[in-house]
Chain A
Amino acid sequence: MSRELDAQKGESLVIRGEQSPFSCPLDRRSFLKCALASGAALGVCEFAQPLVAIPSWAGPQKQDDSRFTVEAKFYQKLPNNKKIKCKLCPRECTVGDRERGYCGVRENRGGTYYTLVHSRVCAAHIDPIEKKPLFHYLPGTLAFSLATAGCNVNCKFCQNWDISQVRPEQVPADYAPPKLVAELAKQRDCPTIAYTYSEPVIFSEYLMDAADAGHEAGIRSVVVSNGYMQEEALKTAYGKMDAVKIDLKAFTESYYKDVVVGELKPVLDSLVTLRKMNKWTEIVYLVVPAMNDSDAEFRGLARWVKTNLGVDVPIHFTQFHPEYLLKNLPITPVPTLERAKAIADAEGLHYVYIGNVPGHPAQNTYCPKCRRMLVERVGFTASQMLIRKGSCPFCGQPIPGVWHA
């Protein structure tokens, strides 16, 4: 059975991941303490797997499906055979009765489409906001981070495939209704709830309700997403977010088709829509050796961002590590990441970062005008934060972002 995350009960939890040195049964207080400690440790080794808090779970067992089942918001009923068409992501799955969409977490039951993952949290953790990564959003703060099972693409390099590429009943889960999430975030001094790890597109209904509950409690919300979403759903769901990080996985349709099992154009459209919505947005580009690391792609990406989003949108070129279906490739050489940054810098982008390389100077934020360092980062920790009232303290240049709560 699933269990309820309850701030009052102090249930026994386990940090998931057998390989993790932090694996241990914990009461809730210890869990959070451990989570914080692990966050600090992750700062030293930032590409470590995210730790995931889940209830004690001896193996596959039945979960109470009904408490997580809520009618989906974005779909259309079709006239024949009780079929529906999902309107959440560009895939637009046509789903027959008793079947699920590509994401595996939405099911047609008698012509009505349901999400099976509302409040069904399979991963919860307290992370530095820098781990998302969001570098221009409340640096040095913590994010109460959570995920449900499922994803609407199937990236061959997925680091969290054991939760993103499964059905909800295949992973243990806690019952975490929106108000409880907001309450827990507040109790643990997290100014933000982050929807992350798997793919929040597929738990949009839950994300929206949790964001509302959070805002009522004074807690903000951010989402870490692939941006592969229909415009109306994006506006409705991510309209409730205070910041967005989009994984732009490549700049070619062929890569999206072959490696991501998705499409590039809708993601670019989402970025433009977010820009029009004035959502604070940062972009991550995972550089996979020999697959999306050409000069032409880096240049094309940088020019597109400059033209469509502006020079102030932060871009993070991050290092790939072999995982899931792409175990035959090496990690991305640091010079490749530096080449990507050099190209983007040369195209005029102001905030180009290198990620997953601990200690690299391109993790820091520099003033684009006077070139002085404004935010120093060690791993996921913002060790020095000099920006004052949104501006460089040395030359007065405005530095875009959400710098203060």
Chain B
Amino acid sequence: MSAIRSADRRDFLKKCLTGAVVLGASGKMGLLAAAEQQQQQQGAVLAKSRVVIARDAMLRGVGTTVDSRRMLSLLDRAMQALFDRDNPMETWTKLVRPGETVGLKVNVLGGRGLSSNLQLIEAICERLQEAGIKANDIVVWDRGTDELEHVGFHVSTGGNRVQCFGTDRVDYEQELAMHGSVGSRLSKILTQRCNVLINVPVLKDHDGAGVTIALKNMYGVIHNPNKYHPNGCNPYIADLNMLPEIRTKMRLTICDATTACFEGGPGYKPEYSWKNNALMVSQDPVALDYTGWQIIERKRAEKGLKTLEGDSRAPHYIATAADAQHRLGTNDPRSIAVVEV
């Protein structure tokens, strides 16, 4: 005789289905995501993908450089809001465990003025170390070492310091990683140097894809991104993010929206950039990209520019990433909780 009575079984199945829907919609990944999902199922508190936008109008004080102390505080606020925690360290200790190796995939292609902010990276590294990650188990990386240096990162490849270098120092895997339309060699930094990935993109307009935020930042992980720009990068961006090496390691996106770009991206053009003094944080990269896209559209409207759709470059890849073949997250605004702090 079954240990579960029929009524209980019905409830059980109902809960399971609810959970599955939530999982399908949010696309969260990693340990914390699983814990969060469990909490959601139990308390039915959060059914939406949360995207936190944290702002600090005084992030730069009266100057142009971001204040390190205020940046750390801004990051804490964002993380606490994302994970509903009073203590910022609780978020990080749930996100990573001592002994793990963490890659911070930054974006420095925009050059000086429009790359992942140095103070933000310092703040993330500080919190990671306080959570028990050894300094030399943290790798700050992008495609090219020169490009990292150009925007102000100090290259470091040894010692007990945070590591910082480009894939050009270690090369790409010889074997191709394939999914759908994508067949690429992956950076050995991703495959061999880190088992946790934190994505640190920049909020930018993109002349081909429409916008480049979280999902497209993974183009910096592969050897042949130039092959995946036709058709507004669709479905390439979604297919790329489906690669297990990316999907299983990705735990969090911290989008640098301190300086953002609403036109003429992805390169830095001061006339098309604005000091937004914000961070966007989410575990759902699709929801984050959708939310970022809306921010860029609002700024374009404010500046009297056409919508991206009107400019024939709406970021359709975001919908593809959310579709039934990908389920990387949700692009449905009804399923996204945007939290501004």
Contacts and interface: CB of A to CB of B under 8 A. Distances in A.
A83 B272 CA distance: 15
Interface in A247-287: 261
Given A102-B229, A169-B168, A325 B176 contact: yes
Interface of A: 59-60, 62, 80-83, 91, 93-94, 96-104, 154, 156, 165-167, 169-170, 261, 324-325
Nearest to B172: A170
Contact of B227 (A96, A99, A165): A165
Contacts of B169: 60
29 contacts: A60-B168, A60-B169, A81-B207, A81-B263, A81-B264, A82-B267, A83-B207, A94-B207, A96-B207, A96-B264, A96-B265, A96-B266, A97-B267, A97-B269, A102-B229, A104-B224, A104-B226, A104-B227, A154-B227, A156-B183, A165-B224, A165-B227, A166-B224, A167-B223, A169-B168, A170-B171, A170-B172, A261-B227, A325-B176
Contacts of B267: 82, 96-99
B80 to A, nearest CB: 36
Nearest to A104: B226
Of the listed residues B168, B169, B178, B269, the one surrounded by the most CB atoms of chain A closer than 10 A to its CB is B168
Contacts of A62: 146, 168
B226 A101 contact: yes
A103 B226 contact: yes
B266 A102 contact: no
Contacts of A324: 176, 183
B224 A325 contact: no
A170 B184 CA distance: 13
B227 A102 contact: yes
Given A104-B226, A104-B227, A325-B183, A99 B266 contact: yes
B16 interface: no
Contacts of B226: 100-104, 167
B264 A98 contact: no
Contacts of A97: 267, 269
Contacts of B171: 59-60, 170
Given A103-B226, A261-B230, 10 more contacts: A60-B171, A81-B264, A93-B229, A97-B267, A98-B111, A98-B267, A104-B227, A156-B183, A324-B176, A324-B183
A81 B224 contact: no
A324 B176 CA distance: 8
Contacts of B223: 166-167, 170
Contacts of A165: 224, 227
Q: Among the interface residues A80, A93, A101, A165, which one has the most CB atoms of the partner chain B within 10 A?
A: A165
A59 B224 CA distance: 18
Contacts of A98: 109-111, 266-267
B301 to A, nearest CB: 19
Contacts of A169: 168
A98 to B, nearest CB: 4
B22 to A, nearest CB: 35
Given A154-B227, A166-B224, A325 B168 contact: no
A96 B269 CA distance: 11
A99 B172 CA distance: 21
Nearest to B171: A60
B170 interface: yes
A154 B183 CA distance: 10
Interface in B95-143: 109-111
A290 to B, nearest CB: 19
Contacts of B264: 80-81, 96
A70 to B, nearest CB: 19
Contacts of B172: 170
Interface in B246-269: 263-267, 269
Contacts of B176: 324-325
Nearest to A169: B168
Contacts of B224: 104, 165-167
